[in-house]
A = this chain, B = another copy of it.
Amino acid sequence: MTAPPDLSPDRTSDTSAPAWIAADWGTSQLRLWVMDARNQVIARLTSDRGMSRLCPQDYEPTLLDLLGDHLPTGENYPLPVICCGMAGSRQGWAEAPYASAPCPPPGIAEATQPAITDPRLAVYLLPGIKTTDPTDVMRGEETQIAGFLSQGSNQQETQVICLPGTHSKWVRLDQGQVTSFSTFMTGEMFALLRGQSVLRHCVSEEGWDDAAFTQAISESLAAPASISAQLFRLRADALLTGQRPETGRARLSGLLIGAELAATQHDWSRQPITILGTDTLARCYETALSALGCVPQRVDGETLTLAGLSAAYDQLQKSQTP
């Protein structure tokens, strides 16, 4: 049996050697990035083994299995795994208790280290943020915000970040702190109504209608209380006027996002807005806000997740420097 190659002398200079693992461990998905010492991505790995499918004892084998050849050899361990998302929730691997807003996004000093048997890994679970009046929670988004702040955003300014998603969040920032935030179930309501309600017959899975979307945004913003009646109109319009399912899809999205924009009007009408995300949903929010005269900045969400996790890795390196 030959000894494994010792890569340690090259560790800091060889940019292709894994220096740490960035992880976004959500409810339904796990995303890993194998990172070098200069915070460049060596490899991307994804899995459907999200929190909802795992017991606490499943996390370590899942990591080992997915990392495979990327696991460190020789004396290059433990390899830090810095993880944001639901793995740090009470129902996850181990609880990383929420930080309380107002606060800066929590970093490595607030992370929880779950018990782990394999000496090759050292896992750090970053906490989420809570607010108590009114109550709200985030877990994962705080790391994107840390990434946003690390990228030279003007931290003196009051600003608002919108994070579209299954549960979209509107986060108010002041001097590098998260001062308050609100979560909206818009994305999940869209999925439920489109796929499982009486509207599934008149709302398509694909396709779009730009004019119908912006029209629905306006209607919802003008009368947000009527949204539940406007939703049933999608069915009535399909029955009575032959409205196309693609138009139904765009209207459903517009009505729901419009209600969210009605509730957040005091945010987007008064200060600069940044949308975190580059997918179709984020572009819908951008289209809607632009139609309302608010021109948001839009930045890539994965880039910010990695920037936030990299900031935590840099903190870890500093804390370990004598």
Where the two chains meet, the residues of A that have a C-beta atom closer than 8 Å to any C-beta of B are 90, 98, 130, 132, 134-137, 167, 182-186, 188-189, 192-193, 196-198, 223-229, 231-233, 235-237, 239-241, 256, 259-260, 262-263
Residues from chain B with Cβ under 8 Å of A90 in the complex: 239
- Taking the closest CB of chain B, its distance from the CB of A264, in whole angstroms, is 9
Q: Contact between B225 and A259 (Cβ–Cβ < 8 Å)?
A: yes
Q: Please judge, given known A-B contacts A184-B228, A229-B183, whether A236 and B197 are in contact too, CB under 8 Å.
A: no
Whether A186 pairs with B240 at a CB distance below 8 angstroms is no
Distance (whole angstroms) from the CB of A20 to the closest CB of chain B: 30
Verify B239–A137 contact, CB threshold 8 A: yes
**Contact residues in B for A167 (Cβ distance below 8 Å):** 198, 232
Q: Are the CB atoms of A225 and B228 closer together than 8 Å?
A: no
Given contacts A167-B198, A183-B232, A183-B236, contact A225 B188 (CB under 8 A): no
Given known A130-B240, A135-B241, A183-B236, contact A263–B192 (CB-CB < 8 A): no
Is there contact, CB below 8 Å, between B182 and A229? Answer: yes
B-side contacts of A192, CB under 8 Å? 192-193, 196-197
- A contact face: mostly helix, strand, loop, or mixed: helix
Contact B236 A137 (CB under 8 A): yes
* Whole-angstrom distance between the Cβ of A30 and the nearest chain B Cβ: 18
* Extra 18 A-B pairs, beta carbons < 8 Å, given A135-B241, A185-B232: A130-B236, A130-B240, A134-B236, A137-B235, A137-B239, A137-B240, A182-B229, A183-B229, A184-B232, A185-B193, A188-B197, A189-B189, A189-B197, A224-B224, A224-B225, A225-B262, A225-B263, A227-B259
A228 contact from B185, B197, B229, B240, Cβ within 8 A: B185
Whole-angstrom distance between the alpha carbons of A137 and B135 in the complex? 39
CB-based contact B193/A229 at 8 Å:
no
What separation, in Å, do the CA atoms of A240 and B98 have in the docked complex?
A: 10
Closest 9 CB pairs of A and B: A224-B225, A225-B262, A135-B236, A183-B232, A225-B263, A184-B228, A192-B192, A226-B263, A182-B229
CB distance from A275 to the nearest CB of B (A): 18
CB pair A228 B186 closer than 8 Å: yes
The chain B residue sitting closest to A138, CB to CB, is B236
| Residue from the set A132, A227, A256 with the largest chain B CB neighbour count within 10 Å | A227
> Which single residue of chain B is at the shortest CB-CB distance from A260?
B228
- Chain B residue with the shortest CB-CB distance to A137: B236
Kindly state the separation between the CA atoms of A183 and B198 in the bound complex, as whole angstroms.
13
Among A134, A228, A231, A241, max chain B CB count under 10 A is at A228
What are 18 A-B pairs with beta-carbon distances under 8 A? A90-B239, A130-B236, A135-B237, A136-B229, A136-B232, A137-B235, A137-B236, A167-B232, A183-B232, A185-B228, A185-B231, A188-B198, A192-B192, A192-B196, A225-B259, A226-B263, A227-B259, A228-B256
What is the distance, in angstroms, from A14's C-beta to the closest C-beta of chain B? 43
Quick check: A233 and B134 within 8 Å, CB to CB?
A: yes
Q: Are A233 and B136 in contact (CB under 8 A)?
A: yes
